[in-house]
Amino acid sequence: MTREVEPVINDHWTRAEFPHELVPGIAELGIAGLAYDGPGCPARGALVGGMVAMELSRVDPSIGTFMGVHGGLAMGSIHLCGSDEQRERWLPAMARMELIGAFGLTEPEIGSAISQGLATTARRDGDEWVLNGAKKWIGNAAFADLVVIWARDEDDGQVKGFVVEKGTEGIEFTKQEDKIALRVVQNAEIALTDCRVPEANRLQRAESFGDTSNVLRVTRMDVAWQAVGCARGAFEHALRYTKARQQFGRSIAGFQLVQDLLVKMLTHVSSTTAMNVRASQLQDAGLLKDEHASLCKVHSTTSMRETVGWAREVLGGNGILLEHHVGRFVADAEAIYSYEGTREINTLIVGRAITGESAFV
Ligand SMILES: Cc1cc2nc3c(=O)[nH]c(=O)nc-3n(C[C@H](O)[C@H](O)[C@H](O)COP(=O)(O)OP(=O)(O)OC[C@H]3O[C@@H](n4cnc5c(N)ncnc54)[C@H](O)[C@@H]3O)c2cc1C
């Protein structure tokens, strides 16, 4: 990441373009679907998967997000919700990154309330399903080889997952322009108009939104780790900068008020790392609950947001220049803060768990 990604990423960020030329190098690392033990997957477990997610985002949160969507959400949907045959069909090629995946859950009018209000429909027609509706914010979708689309079965009202492959008729992608965060990630709006997919592409073990939630619980931990990476990257750039920058005839790292900010950053990075290590250990032991992942996401992202702000502060004016990297982390943190469940929604999940009272509506 430091050698190949860091030198080129600001340029891609400015142009809002994805560095496709870096994909073969990332593929060689063998980190797609790292935690999963499905066909062709590395089966390295949640803790290693989380730490690698941190390391990617520590250099660039956009690449961290690209891998989170492909190796986490898309591969996770197939791994956790697909039949054995479907896992064999897609996972090995996705692990080799010959096929890139996307995950289509959020809709233009339904974000946080997706578990209740998902409006995209699926109608069974013989051996096929007919999908209609719209999706928004779908990472990688603009160039993905397959997109997992979550839609509500018109017959039984349950949410089901469908793998829609590139070139399928009735699905259209429109790249979302002018983002101020994660500009390298190619998010797209999706329009589904009588889009026909075979029954063989319906994820056979996705029977309700509860199965979608099983995927999100796992990937929410990855996002908590991405937040630690984003904070850690900003902290490390800030520490280096303060040692090099001179004011009043000495390095600014020697000023007490600057050290105060550096130590507050390190406190956040350390506490969120420790918390996520424990939760990933619980995940590896099969004990992770929704509220654990949500608590990690809340704490890691709120800490990240403060940390990147302090990092920018100690860089002074240079903090808003891309060439010093911290400005990119400040911007990208805003997206990590909101996706995979906002602070409010994850707080409500934890609140429900500790009080026994749901405060969602
Ligand atoms: C860069 C980026 C990448 C993304 N990638 C994907 C992807 O690959 N696939 C995908 O499916 N989705 C993706 N998303 C969507 C993301 O998951 C949603 O943005 C997120 O779930 C929030 O939904 P929303 O933006 O519609 O906000 P809204 O749901 O409209 O929320 C707006 C505000 O209202 C608050 N709010 C809502 N309900 C409550 C409540 N009950 N109590 C208190 N406050 C509440 C929220 O917390 C938030 O502050 C991505 C988003 C971004 C920004």
Does residue 32 contact residue 67 with C-beta atoms inside 8 Å? yes
Report how many domains make up the chain: 3
Cβ-proximal residues to 250 (8 Å cutoff; 6+ apart), any chain? none
Q: Please say if the pLDDT value at position 142 is more than 90.
A: no
Q: Which of 112, 176, 302, 343 to mutate to test the pocket of ligand 1 (most atoms within 8 A of CB)?
A: 112
179 CA distance to ligand 1 middle (Å): 15
Give a yes or no: residue 313 inside a domain: yes
Q: Which of 182, 183, 189, 144 is nearest to 164 (CA)?
A: 144
What was the pLDDT predicted at 239? 98
111 CA distance to ligand 1 middle (Å): 5
Give a yes or no: residue 92 inside a domain: yes
* Global confidence as pTM: 0.98
Work out the average pLDDT over 147-175.
Answer: 98
Q: Measured between alpha carbons, how far is 97 from 30 in angstroms, rounded to an integer?
A: 9
Give a yes or no: residue 49 inside a domain: yes
Tell me, using a 6 A CB cutoff, whether residue 360 lines ligand 1. yes
Tell me, using a 6 A CB cutoff, whether residue 346 lines ligand 1. no
pLDDT tens digits, one per residue of 88-134: 999 999 999 999 999 999 999 999 999 999 999 999 999 999 999 99
Give the nearest ligand 1 atom to 342 CA.
Answer: 47
- The CATH number that applies at residue 28 is 1.10.540.10
Q: Measured between alpha carbons, how far is 160 from 129 in angstroms, rounded to an integer?
A: 11
> Backbone phi, then psi, for 310, in 5-degree steps?
-65, -40
Mean pLDDT of the residues in the chain: 98
What was the pLDDT predicted at 8? 98
Regarding whether 215 and 350 lie in a shared domain, the answer is yes
Regarding whether 264 and 145 lie in a shared domain, the answer is no
Does residue 239 contact residue 280 with C-beta atoms inside 8 Å? no
Regarding whether 341 and 263 lie in a shared domain, the answer is yes
Tell me, using a 6 A CB cutoff, whether residue 69 lines ligand 1. yes
Structure tokens at 63: 């690449």
Q: Which of 196, 193, 191, 209 is nearest to 168 (CA)?
A: 196
Structure tokens at 261: 């900010």
Q: Measured between alpha carbons, how far is 303 from 169 in angstroms, rounded to an integer?
A: 44
What was the pLDDT predicted at 211? 97
The region that residue 177 occupies, defined by phi over 0 for left and psi between -120 and 50 for alpha, beta otherwise, is beta
pLDDT tens digits, one per residue of 74-96: 999 999 999 999 999 999 999 99
Regarding whether 106 and 55 lie in a shared domain, the answer is no
Q: Measured between alpha carbons, how far is 196 from 194 in angstroms, rounded to an integer?
A: 6
Owner of token pair 């689309």: 149
Tell me, using a 6 A CB cutoff, whether residue 106 lines ligand 1. yes
Q: Please say if the pLDDT value at position 288 is more than 90.
A: yes
Tell me, using a 6 A CB cutoff, whether residue 344 lines ligand 1. yes
What was the pLDDT predicted at 358? 97
What was the pLDDT predicted at 283? 96
Tell me, using a 6 A CB cutoff, whether residue 66 lines ligand 1. no
Regarding whether 127 and 17 lie in a shared domain, the answer is no
Q: Provide the domain limits for residue 129.
A: 102-201
338 CA distance to ligand 1 middle (Å): 6
Give the nearest ligand 1 atom to 104 CA.
Answer: 11
Q: For the chain, what percentages of helix, strand and coil (3-state, to nearest 5) are there? A: 55, 15, 30
